[in-house]
Chains A and B, each alone.
Chain A
Amino acid sequence: MKKFLILLLVAALAGYWYWAQQRAAQTPLTDAHAPKAVESVVHLRLPTFALMLNPLKMSEIESRRVATLLHGGLIAVNKNGDASARLAKSWSQDGSNWLFELRDDVRFSGGAVADANAVVSSLCANLQPSSPWAWALKSIKHETSADGKTVRCTGLVAQSATKLSIEQSNAAPWLFNALASPAGWVIANGAVEQPYGVLPGIGPYEIESITADTRVVLRKRAGGVLTAGVDRVVFDYLPDGAVAAARFAQGKLDALDIESPAIVQQLYATGAPEWRFKSEITGRTESAPAERVRVVIVNEKKLASMGFGLAQIAGFKAQYEAAIDRAKIAAISQGLAASMLGSTLLDGAKVRPASSVALPSVELVLNMEPDAYSDLLAASLPSVVGNVKIRYQGLDKGQLVGNLIKGEYDIMLMVIENPVKSDAFWTALFTQGNPFSAFGKGLAPESAYDLSNSVGIQAAAAKIDAEGNWIGVIREPRIMVFSKRLTGVYLSPSGQPNLEAIRVQ
């Protein structure tokens, strides 16, 4: 027996030693571990580990956040629409033509010089039909091949190494927003994609290491469009919001999205609008106007196949909308959300007219994301509307989007990021074949409205109110907390945080 116990003890000690070695290799760098020279390290959160850093394939916001440090474009635009120079040092407009003068001192992380030819090839790659950003750049003059699979970018001309002209076929007000987004990021000519979609960029940082399911480490470099503000940026993979909040409270994380009431309770003594931290926590809270909405999307085709008539579908939407207790939902959100009336995304929209039409006796399923906050919201939505019973079911994001695209759902609680002030979003919704139109049901074509101004958007919104299949639930401002030492984070016009200019005090 003693031998057995000694053997167990030795095995346990050996195992622990080996394991400690392995864990030490996995432990994220901290200021304490860093060399004693004045090395500044910023720790940020990576909530999911699904990195795709190639701008040509990037579609989710977490990769985009990391990539803002690696890549850049001709210009940068903040949420107010103010443009500032990056690779371009100046620009001027002549009718539908934009002329950009480029800097000659910017190099890619691979060492090559970033010149006008690289800009042309990058923008042209993103104009190809196979690029997810083609729709954002489509106002640039181009010719599509007969089979529709390639385009010739006739509006992009490199006049010299430092001069570039961009001609638009029709003036789109969001051109600069697109040039500052991943659609306009500049990639080195002929660069070969590395694992995780890593490509040489012109941002102030480059990849130092990527450890799967653990962290991504970026280090500063010379020759980028901006001077790096810190030596290293570490993205720690922290899937659980509560853990991330605990790390922030302990000073081990420099920025955090306040994304659920649980995190509010964890960090704040008083929530909105004071946002007063608990006594032991320091930092600052910043909020941007409502940048995210949650809407219930009704699958009208599915309802029709279940025996709903046209009047009953309209009646269901009206009765469901009226039954939502928005005040209760706003209350449980701990200040993270405000009521959203109407089916559209604009302020002042009205609730649909009341309806008393009799509904068929069926059971519908409300699909939503499986996180705790969505679960809380879904539990607060109506479970009975007339004769219709509604139960809810969480689905993984991929499954949710797949079902939305294939039309395999009854009703769906969906998060839409930053649509309110995005004219590109509104245009997309009214453009047949555009991905965003999967949210809706194919309304009138774009030409019916001038979506470049608020009058046109109001008209489009009124149409969605009258005919659309959306039921508004809540609007959520983007609320982020930062450690006191971190500065320089700004929001892009689409509401995404850009980290390229971060600094520590």
Chain B
Amino acid sequence: MFEAAKPLLKQLLTCIAAIVAAHALAFFLMRALPSAATVALGLQSTNVEVVAAFESSAPVRSYRQTVVDFAHLQLGRTLDGTSVSSELLAALKLSLPVLALSMLLALLTAAIFALSPRARAVVPSMQFFVFLPPFLFAFLAGSSQLFGNVIAPIWLTIAASAALACCLFAVQAHAAMAQELALPHAEVMRMFCATERDLRLKLLPGVLVKLAPSLETGVSLTLASLLFAEPILGQAGIGTLAARAVRRSDVDLLLGAVLLFATCIAIARLVGWGLRRHYRLPT
């Protein structure tokens, strides 16, 4: 029993370690940002008394205290005096459907690229797009003339968030389909399938399963894009919340956002690992 659960435990421990490391890294990187008092008070932060009054109303916890509170499931309070966990929950409710639809869009793109032989022409461009920074599509969507006039900002948010994952999955699905088509069993199936399209349709589930190792990367790319797309396009959610936390140097809120992002990626990693195990793909 223990032997069977060992790989799962190993994966879980790796995920927990990654989450804790991300949390610690974020805490210490926050030191590089201007203090919350400087951001909130502006030039008034030259006044020592004013800063002292501000800091006494919003004390910054030590890392040790933050970890102890986290162990008690207390994520602290935002600079606005609201509960971090309730803010995260509200933002997650808004962003989770965006994330889900973005991943769905990425899967559909993968399916299209796997099914269509003509997609080969655009695959090199897609390979290039994967390496573009995650904010580029958000900026393009934001500056688009369509924005605010024809397409609702929320759909542009989904498109901008999904763009990189779409490119990644499309390239990989196209390559996986090419590999499948070259295998002997595809030759056998070709004899029973009426058309090339039918053959590709039959092979599609296997090709999509092969994307499982990239699920973590896909979710990471989507979350990174969401971080830019939501604030640029004026949509509430975890991206806008994280951007607000960074801009205001809101330590507790940012640490909460980092935990949320890291947990989402860890879940994607576990799901990807589970799929690989289930379909006996190399792990």
Contacts and interface: CB of A to CB of B under 8 A. Distances in A.
Interface of A: 1, 4, 8, 11-12, 15-16, 18-19, 22-23, 26, 49-52, 57, 59-60, 128-132, 149, 193-197, 211-214, 237-240, 242-243, 246-247, 396-399, 401-402, 404-405, 433, 435-439
A239 B231 contact: yes
B199 interface: no
Interface string B31-47: 00111001111111111
A214 B44 CA distance: 28
B8 to A, nearest CB: 25
Interface of B: 33-35, 38-47, 49-50, 52-54, 57, 80-82, 87, 90-91, 93-94, 97-98, 100-101, 104, 107, 142-143, 147-149, 153-154, 201-202, 204-205, 231-234, 236-237, 240-241, 244, 247-249
Contacts of B98: 19
A150 to B, nearest CB: 10
Nearest to A53: B80
Nearest to A195: B81
Nearest to B236: A213
A195 B147 CA distance: 33
B239 to A, nearest CB: 10
Given A15-B100, A26-B94, 5 more contacts: A237-B234, A398-B247, A398-B248, A399-B33, A435-B47
Given A22-B94, A130-B49, A59 B42 contact: yes
Given A22-B94, A401-B43, A50 B147 contact: no
A131 B80 contact: no
Contacts of B57: 57, 193
14 contacts: A26-B236, A50-B248, A60-B40, A194-B81, A197-B80, A213-B91, A243-B147, A397-B42, A398-B34, A401-B42, A402-B38, A435-B47, A436-B43, A437-B46
A130 B53 CA distance: 6
Contacts of B148: 242-243, 246-247
For A15, A19, A213, the residue with the greatest tally of chain B CB atoms inside 10 Å of its CB is: A213
A1 B207 CA distance: 12
Given A22-B94, A238-B234, A243-B153, A59 B46 contact: no
A405 B44 contact: no
A131 B51 CA distance: 9
For B49, B153, B205, the residue with the greatest tally of chain A CB atoms inside 10 Å of its CB is: B49
Contacts of B50: 129-132
B80 A12 contact: no
A438 B40 contact: no
Contacts of A51: 80
Nearest to A12: B104
Contacts of B201: 1
B97 A196 contact: no
A284 to B, nearest CB: 22
The 4 closest A-B CB pairs, nearest first, are A398-B39, A402-B34, A246-B148, A19-B97
Nearest to A246: B148
Contacts of B236: 26, 211-214, 237
A101 to B, nearest CB: 33
Contact of A15 (B90, B101, B204): B101
Contact of A401 (B38, B90, B233): B38
Contacts of B54: 57
B16 to A, nearest CB: 28
A194 to B, nearest CB: 7
B81 A398 contact: no
B100 to A, nearest CB: 5
A438 B46 contact: yes
Contacts of A132: 41, 44, 47, 50
Contacts of B149: 246
Contact of A4 (B47, B49, B53, B205): B205
Nearest to A19: B97
A396 B243 CA distance: 11
A57 B40 contact: yes
For A57, A197, A212, A243, the residue with the greatest tally of chain B CB atoms inside 10 Å of its CB is: A212
A23 B234 CA distance: 13
B234 A239 contact: yes
A376 B104 CA distance: 39
Nearest to A243: B148
Contact of A438 (B43, B234, B241): B43
B269 to A, nearest CB: 21
A398 B38 contact: yes
Contacts of B204: 1
Nearest to B240: A213
A240 B34 contact: no
A239 B230 CA distance: 10
A49 B236 CA distance: 11
A402 B232 CA distance: 24
Contact of A435 (B35, B46, B247, B248): B46
A402 B107 CA distance: 45
A246 to B, nearest CB: 4
Contacts of B90: 212
Contacts of A242: 142-143, 147-148
A405 to B, nearest CB: 5
Contacts of A18: 97
